[in-house]
Amino acid sequence: MPLEFWFEFASTYSYPAAMRIERAAAARDVAIVWRPFLLGPIFAAQGWTDSPFNLLPAKGRYMWRDLERRCASYGLPFRRPSRFPRSGVLAARVALAHEDEPWLPDYVRPVYRANFALDRDIADRSEIARLLEELGIAPAPVIARAEAAENKDRLRTRTKFAHKRGIFGAPTLLFGEEMFWGDDRIEDALDWATRHGG
Amino acid sequence: MPLEFWFEFASTYSYPAAMRIERAAAARDVAIVWRPFLLGPIFAAQGWTDSPFNLLPAKGRYMWRDLERRCASYGLPFRRPSRFPRSGVLAARVALAHEDEPWLPDYVRPVYRANFALDRDIADRSEIARLLEELGIAPAPVIARAEAAENKDRLRTRTKFAHKRGIFGAPTLLFGEEMFWGDDRIEDALDWATRHGG
């Protein structure tokens, strides 16, 4: 049974998590699967029209400082985005439409880096196209597949499943019935998976 | 400069934090000061009339499971309280009125244990009296001092200070300008204090 890594491209703590999960899992021989989803509809269902880090300014101020410290401790570059949150919808559609491609993790990481280290607009189609090109992937067919009605539907279904499963934030790690929330629970999740046959 | 440990008796993650902070700090030779305060007025100021773990059921379900796992990993007994949150006002008044007493940590820990391991009602004056008696402390004068108007005012002032300082949850650790939130940030806070002359 693999450890499921549920991530949202707009989510701040998903940035360090996405950057380090693959190496951390490989070091313990735990298989992971990447599960893109959207937090927006889950937040909206509880009446939030914005990120809780914007709705609660004290919590937001703390989060930015905490994230900066954590990225420094991981040796990850970090720059607070000039706009937050940036929509991760297109980025997630691309990820979902290609989640079985071997290049998926190599696509996910640069998208996070663009948002949280380079302050680039990942909601912009040309930015996603540029990132795909840098991977040697022709953007047009990938983006067309991502924006097909069937794939848009699939992302809605995926997000509904996440909501029903009890996911309320990102990143979230699932191992069977067990849930772990946050970059700071990656080690706990990997330990659990190791002890329970992951 | 000591590391300030800000705690609220109703706060779930303050339980493991309060149980382990003294030993963890001593192991690194970091001095700590205990800072009781109330989260209720801070939550109320942002429009919440209950714990976010009750207002957001999915988050609450996760928290109870996560807390159970964390307590198990620390070797701490845990039983989900039959009522949550329980008012920590009296317990905090007692702590604040006696925060310079050498017995303060020996009082704080049993209060948390009563709430989160023994499912006892820490809002009840007779429960606090019983816990004090078990420490060999005559309860009547301690509770009288705690409930004096001057001490009640001091707890209000303390809580206002916490709010102004940007504290939005518990436990919170302060070291100068630097803030760390959560039981899972104790090690980060101690590392920071050690590196910066704590």
Using one digit for the tens of pLDDT, what is the confidence trace for B130-166?
Answer: 999 999 999 999 999 999 999 999 999 999 999 999 9
Per the CB < 8 Å rule, is A167 touching B65? no
Q: Which residues pair with B175 in a beta bridge?
A: B178
Instruction: Considering only the C-alpha atoms of chain A, give the largest distance between any 2 of them, rounded to a whole number of Å.
Output: 44
- Determine the Cα–Cα distance for residues B137 and B179; give it in Å rounded to an integer: 34
Supply the pTM of this predicted model. Answer: 0.96
Whole-number average pLDDT of chain B: 97
Q: How many CB pairs below 8 A link A and B?
A: 39
Best mutation target, B65, B73, B74, to test chain A (most A CBs within 10 A): B65
- Determine the Cα–Cα distance for residues A64 and A66; give it in Å rounded to an integer: 5
> What number of H helices and E strands is found in chain A?
10, 4
- Determine the Cα–Cα distance for residues A7 and A2; give it in Å rounded to an integer: 16
Tokens of A25: 């899992």
Closest CA to A146 of A187, A107, A198: A107
Per the CB < 8 Å rule, is B62 touching A188? no
Question: Does B24 contact chain A (CB < 8 Å)?
Answer: no
CA distances from residue A186 to A24, A34, A57, A194 in whole angstroms, order as listed: 8, 14, 26, 12
Predicted local distance difference test score (pLDDT) of residue B197: 83
Q: Say yes or no: ipTM exceeds 0.90.
A: yes
